[in-house]
Amino acid sequence: MRLKPKHFYIAIMAAVIIWAGNYTYFEAAQLEKPVFLDHYYEMDFDSARFLAFYFITNKFDDTEIQSVELDGVEAYNYNEPDRDSQEKVVQEFQHQNLKTILVYLPSVPAEKYKNGTWQFENITVHYENGSRQTVPIGMVKINAQPRTISTKAFEFKGSGSNQQRDVLKVRIIDNLSIKEISSPFLSLENDTKIKVHHIHKQSENIQNPLRILLKTEWNKVPGKDKNDVLYPMQMKKNEWLGLYVQKGKKEMAFQKYELKIEGTTEDGENVESFMYVQFSPYLSEKDVQSIIALKSRKTK
């Protein structure tokens, strides 16, 4: 059956209108510049020599990052041997990709440290095409000296993690008064769910192995909410302490830091231990649009 000329031209016009509409929508969805996620880093300098930064960019944008300035300190792109590009696509979406770039920090000028910590909230990104942008990055804290972990009071017994939860168990070596368990980021402390489990008997450990704690519904995970713990928390020799961390609403951010456990022994010695926490972003299409909208408001 042959189309009449009138119907043929109507079909052509409809196709053109649809194409124009799709193209207009595609153009409207394009970013002028990459959008960087929030990052919550806290570590010592030796651990911070390599830093990963996550950002959202247009799917077909092949402009690459040339270098990154961290609070005025230059960091060099690190190209891993098994990658053709310094940038790695982590997730693909309709119009954008989530990428990550790894940078190497060779040194930090001494004047950057204030009370032993270098802290910054913005980075400047230089691109191969000569353009650059300064972007909010969340919060990065780098300590000049590594942490001192007490082996007199705490014995590390095991840890586990998945995309949503980190768990840690330590044995108390000697009678101990725990003064506080804290996060280096107040904004995360008010968002991330943390439970503190005072394990009095070994049978409680057997009933709650790490693999089970990673899968158990949060409201059924043993322990008290960190904000409900009364300090000082008295613990006896050979008791165990469980710390369980559940990713909160800031799950769209990259998180890499340590919870600090501060205590005092019977001899009056102050002791510290740390729980390593890391959550990498795993986004939905809705998350991507939310981040773009939020960051656009912040940079206006």
Mean pLDDT to the nearest integer, 194-217: 82
Please say whether the beta carbons of 159 and 168 come within 8 A. Answer: yes
Comparing 14 with 260, which gets the higher pLDDT? 260
Model pLDDT, residue 84: 53
Give pLDDT tens digits for 136-187. Answer: 999 999 999 888 777 778 888 888 888 788 998 899 998 999 999 998 988 7
Tokens found for residue 276 = 């390593």
Mean pLDDT to the nearest integer, 106-122: 93
Q: Answer whether residue 270 shows pLDDT above 80.
A: yes
Most confident of 9-13, 99-103, 164-168: 99-103
CA angle 121/179/43 to nearest 5° reads 30
Helix (H/G/I), strand (E/B), else coil: 111: helix
Give pLDDT tens digits for 45-56. Answer: 888 889 999 999
Model pLDDT, residue 17: 52
Question: Shortest CA distance to 158 belongs to which of 120, 213, 196, 105?
Answer: 213
Comparing 29 with 288, which gets the higher pLDDT? 288
- Per-residue b or e along 150-183, where b marks 16 or more CB atoms closer than 10 Å to that residue's CB: beebbeeeeebbeeebbbbbbbbbbebbbbebeb
Model pLDDT, residue 25: 41
Q: Answer whether residue 28 shows pLDDT above 60.
A: no
**What amino acid is encoded at 116 in this protein?**
G
Mean pLDDT to the nearest integer, 267-285: 89
CB atoms < 10 A from the CB of 79, how many? 14
Q: How far is CA 41 from CA 160, 173, 185, 262, in A?
A: 20, 30, 9, 20
Please say whether the beta carbons of 100 and 90 come within 8 A. Answer: yes
E-only strand ranges, 184-253: 193-199, 224-225, 233-235, 240-246
Rounded to whole angstroms, the Cα distance separating 260 from 181 reads 6
Model pLDDT, residue 159: 85
Mean pLDDT to the nearest integer, 95-100: 94
Model pLDDT, residue 247: 83
Beta bridge partners of 195: 225, 244
pTM attached to this predicted model? 0.82
Q: How far is CA 253 from CA 199, 246, 273, 282, in A?
A: 32, 14, 25, 9
Rounded to whole angstroms, the Cα distance separating 217 from 275 reads 21
pLDDT band at 21 (very low <50, low <70, confident <90, very high): very low
Give pLDDT tens digits for 207-257. Answer: 677 888 888 899 999 999 998 999 999 999 999 999 999 887 666 889 999
